Amino acid sequence: MDTELSIGAVAERSGVATSALRFYEDRGLIHSHRNSSGHRRYRRSVLRRVAFIRFAQQMGLTLTEIRGLVDELPDNRVPDAEDWARVSAAWTPLLDAHIERLQRLRDRLTSCIGCGCLSMQHCGVLNPGDELAQHGPGPRLVIDG
């Protein structure tokens, strides 16, 4: 019995649309090979990979950034728990920093927006570098530093 998955099966099991899966493949985030009739076949390990992608997206990473992370996974063999742990460890600090940043922002919220100091020149909440202004057009994600 073949243990490989069709794109429809991956979509169903992962909750990610087939169009998104093709898009991820196009972007090099996941890989597949083709069966005799030209249909994509996925290893079961793609499920964990897709899970990781969605997870990282929820953390605010772009697909480009995520690609940088999953590229660290082995290509020649099915990644094991250790591989995943390594990749996860690589970006956990990023996640930590993100949470800390949000907490700092929240902590200053009452004491800052609530009062009158939110004049951006002196207030620490907004302007540590005015990072948002540095980025290009398009919607900005929560993570940016």
Regarding 57 and contact with DNA (CB under 7 A), the answer is yes
Does 58 bind a second copy (CB under 8 A)? Our answer is yes
Structural contact between residues 22 and 7, judged by C-beta atoms closer than 8 angstroms: yes
Contact between 37 and 72 (Cβ < 8 Å): no
Q: Which of 90, 113, 124, 135 binds a second copy (CB under 8 A)?
A: 113
CA of residue 74 relative to chain centroid, distance? 18
Q: Choose one: 26-34, 35-43, 70-78, 129-137; the region binding a second copy (CB under 8 A).
A: 129-137
Taking CB within 5 to 8 Å according to partner kind, which of a second copy, DNA, none is near residue 130?
A: a second copy
| 23, 51, 65, 67: which one binds a second copy (CB under 8 A) | 51
Q: What is the DSSP string of 54-120?
A: HHHHHTT--HHHHHHHHTTS-SSS---HHHHHHHHHHHHHHHHHHHHHHHHHHHHHHHHTTTT--SS
Interaction pattern, residues 3-22, with DNA; x per rule: CB under 7 A: ---xxxx-x-----xxxx-x
Cα 107 versus chain centre, distance: 26
Phi, psi of 41 (to 5 degrees): -125, 130
Query: Which residues of this protein are in contact with a second copy, per CB under 8 A?
Result: 13-17, 47-48, 50-52, 54-55, 57-60, 81, 84-85, 88, 92, 95-96, 98-99, 102-103, 105-106, 109-110, 113-116, 118-121, 123, 125-127, 130, 132-133, 138-144
